[in-house]
Amino acid sequence: MRQPIVDQARLVRLQDQSRWCWPNRSVMVQIVLGLWVGLWVPACVVRYGDSRQEERRNIRALKVGAPVADFAANDINGEIVWLGKYVRIGEEEPEQPKEVLVNFFATWCPSCRRELPQIAAYQRRNPGVQVMVVAEPSKDLKNVVTELLGDSKGQIPVIEDPDMKIVKIFFGPDPHFVLPCSFLISADGKIAARIYGFYEEVPIEQQLAASRHRNLK
């Protein structure tokens, strides 16, 4: 049987082309990944930024060292919650003096949903701090926070704030602010630290410590 004639020169060219194509594909993949990272990373920096950017957005919020007015409201389980139970308001001493972390939350805020389990874990690690969640009213609020708080749902009261009365205590009569955000109030009734934005890999304790450090400068 006659063997087919092989054009050696053409075969070499095809092999060369094959060797050329694969590196090109790899280069193209690297270029595409580079463009994706180049667009995604700046977006993350803008979204999560550093806390100084978030502070500038919440410029009207209570500053560290400012006294906090008392508030009282029913939580989603019908229990009365009031700040003065834990911190000094004016000349009145609290029944159970301790620091209070007030977290502002909304079900439509993805970062709030991601942060709330961290808030719950923070209180489990710090039983000497009372956490309160002030939430924008929504029909699914109770189900959402019950799931997100997990085992801490009985220790962390969630308060609906339909008229923004509590929001206005912290952000002024014409509030403009970003979510999520939290205020740590010392037992003497003053703002000890503030957290703006969501930082998934940074524990709440470190964020509060960073806020204290910035305000000591």
Domain positions in the chain are: 1-48, 51-216
For residue 66, what are its two tokens? 């400012």
Q: How far apart are CA 110 and CA 179, in angstroms?
A: 9
- pLDDT value for 44: 37
Q: How far apart are CA 196 and CA 58, in angstroms?
A: 8
Q: How far apart are CA 201 and CA 217, in angstroms?
A: 25
| This prediction's pTM | 0.72
Question: What is 58-85 written as a DSSP string?
Answer: TTTSPPTT-B----EEEBTTS-EEEGGG
Please check whether residue 159 is in contact with residue 73, taking contact to mean a CB–CB distance below 8 angstroms: yes
CATH superfamily for 51-216 is Glutaredoxin (3.40.30.10)
Sheet strands (E) in the chain: 72-74, 80-82, 99-105, 129-135, 158-160, 181-185, 191-196
Q: How far apart are CA 40 and CA 43, in angstroms?
A: 5
pLDDT tens digits along 181-192: 999 999 999 999
pLDDT tens digits along 125-173: 999 999 999 999 999 999 999 999 988 888 999 999 999 999 999 998 8
